[in-house]
Amino acid sequence: MSAGLRSALTLAVLALLLVVAAVWGWAAFTEPFPQDEPVAICEDTEVSAGSEVRRDQVVVSVFNGSKRSGLASSTSAELGERGFVAGDVGDAPVPAATTQIWSSDPTNPAVLLVQQQFKKARIVSGDPIGVGVVVVVGEKFKTLRRKQVESVIAEADATYCKATGSE
Confidence of residue 126 (pLDDT cuts 50, 70, 90): confident
Q: Which residues contact 101 (CB under 8 A, 6 or more apart)?
A: 111, 114, 115, 118, 121, 122, 123, 124, 133, 134, 135, 136
**pLDDT reported for residue 5:** 86
Confidence check: pLDDT of 166 > 80: no
Q: What is the mean pLDDT of residues 125-146?
A: 91
CA–CA distance, 110 with 11 (Å, rounded to integer)? 73
Rounded to two decimals, the pTM is 0.76
Q: What is the mean pLDDT of the chain?
A: 92
Residues 24-54: pLDDT tens digits? 999 888 888 888 888 889 999 999 999 999 9
Task: Give the per-residue pLDDT at 50.
Answer: 94
> Where are the chain's structural domains?
1-35, 42-163
- 42, 161 in Cβ contact below 8 A? yes
